Structure 1
Amino acid sequence: MLLPPLLPAGSSGVSGAGSAAGGDSSTTGSSSAGNTVTASTRFKRLELHNHTVESDGSLTCQELTEYLAADHVDAFAITDHNTTSGQKKIEQLLEEKHYPISLIRGMEYTTYFGHILCLNLAKYVPWNSIDQHRPELLFEAAREKGALVGIAHPFSYGDPFARGCRFEMTISDYSKVDFIEIFNNPESLHEVNERGTNLWMSLIFSGYQITATSGMDLHNRAKLAGCYATYIEGKSGDNIASELDTAIHTHRTWVSKGALLLTEVLPETNELLLTFTDAHKTGFAVPKTAQVVLKGKDKTFTTSVSLDKPVRVSLNQLSGTDPIIPLLYEAPGINGAATVSNAAHVAASTSCGSAADASSAAGQLKGIDALPAIEGLLCVSPVLYRD
């Protein structure tokens, strides 16, 4: 049977999305599957890649904190280049001014061979062990200090534009990597982010369990609306470092523009429940209908879904497809979005092509040969694995 990571058979995978004000928006009640949704559980919006004047950003620690809090971000990471000097400054600000936002300690190791994001990095880890052909040495050193280690913008432009931004280290063991930043919002959609997403998918289908994240890579007051953010499950008032650690290690993150695709296995009926809901992200209007794509290594299926109206699909249709990456796209034709990815941009080990008709009957999966165009991608959900 297919199971989302950490989700026991028969338990609820549906949580309330955080409100635009950052509060709990879910209410106690039952889902269509009869599972209780508690008011204390919701989604938290995270911005995991940000810089200040402590390195090469133009915002002070206070300005960055205020800017993200004003956009109703639940928690953010400070990831200045090769320094942790801003961490204590922001912690002091939060203690004194009580901004409605939490801090994630972090740093971006910036080398000539690529950038490495570390989250929950509470103590600076020297990087004199950096080796282009053995980056696992640094990964392991940071992990020993409790940090989460990831690759930032792996396909960013490098020489001659920005030496070192492209990840050109040789990784022999991807099990040492906790996450990959599949969307770095300022970067090119096709040349950088689509390739990063396809790299992550190819690693998933090669047997690695690596978590997907996104980042604004803020250096100034860049526009946040319309960009991808990382969402995790959490509870109001709980320790964000612990929640992030759990989400990354159990691979339960959503990379989304503001619509969240939720999945739940119903063992009693041998079905998969699909729901998409509004995360209330500032500046994003959630469509009433969307397209679900269940991407497997050798098979890909699609169906349509309406906002907050779950759809059940038979798991028998997904037999032999393991693992599965659930994806949410705009319905074909919405906002003039293209429906087919350019094959030249596809780097994953699986094939991609035309999208399914938006009029597909609810609950009926349709096999497709290709992924829809990345321009219409709304959400990347946690991978489904066999138990």
Structure 2
Amino acid sequence: MPQQEKVKTLLGSYSSDDVIFLLKDLSEIDLEKGLDEREKAIQSGIHYSEMLPVEYEPTEDYLKLFYESLTMYKQKVAVAVGTVTELLVEKKGRNIVLVSLARAGTPIGILMKRYADKKYDINVPHYSISIIRGRGIDENAMLHIIHTHPHQQIVFVDGWTGKGAIAIELTRSVESFKEKYGITLDDELVVLADPGYCSSLYGTREDFLIPSACLNSTVSGLVSRTVLNSNWISGTDFHGAKVYWDLIEKDVSNHHIDVITEEFATAGSLIRKAKEELLKTDMTPTWNGLQTIASIQELYGIDDVNLIKPGVGETTRVLLRRVPWKILVQDENDPRLKHIFQLAKERSVPIEVYKDMVYTCCGLIRPLDMDL
């Protein structure tokens, strides 16, 4: 297990009072591949975590959409944050450590930490660590957290669910961790939004635009996706990531957090109402999203489920860092998808209406071996 003082961890643009990244700093290493090159590599069997996409630098039009969405949804996000944080504390108590899954979970973890401080006057430790589909959670980071907080319960946090791949990966990782170290962890994944019906502890199941899904590093502390490449990561290292300080002038990470935090002051009654409504429902995961995925696979002839990215958050990421084939939407006039339409226009990606799904939209990545 790496000792914190011996490992140079990554420092992004967030305050260490908000989050501590347990990630090895790979900022000086050239890991980026162009979209086409990266897509070919991934579909030929190279693991996506061994490289990074070229970081999307938001255009002025797209930044305008981010600010518009932040204004439009700041209260909705604040209510969902307050709702899930209160449900979490009521279920698991105050002696908790938030462990957000980098990078989509990081801003949500920060908001939950801030809400817990405001509502309960508790300073909840918050770390951000790596989990990688097919390779699991960063065990060195987990051992460090357990060593640092031996008597506190670890709670895993992410931004939203799509197909539930990360929830499944987390369960596998927790089982493996117990087998290796004899330590039992709670694999319940706490999320802001659960449109895929994959979580039992969430703020909402509405598939709406979470503003932090709009951008990449510039709304995530300037931190890249996480990397697990044996050329740079040894067996005793944390997983790695880069910090894109060259994008500092476009960084809205702390602005995003502060704007939503300000909403907590007036959201109390809405949070109480939302929590009451959720508690009246059955919050058990049904994995309904998988039925949508199966029907899309059959209709479009897609064998690899990893090429289907459901929900607003995942569709956004397809448009930002993959080679999209087409975008499916429930309603082509849905104002919640304005940024999706903007990105699709920028990249000349066709939009198709597909009503039979639980998500508002879904991004499809074209299999490279598919005939045109």
Q: Whose relative contact order is higher, 1 or 2, with alpha carbons under 8 Å and at least 6 apart?
A: 2
Bigger helix share = 2
TM-score above 0.5, yes or no: no
Bigger strand share = 1
Report TM bin, short chain: under 0.3
Give the TM-score of the pair, scaled to structure 1: 0.26
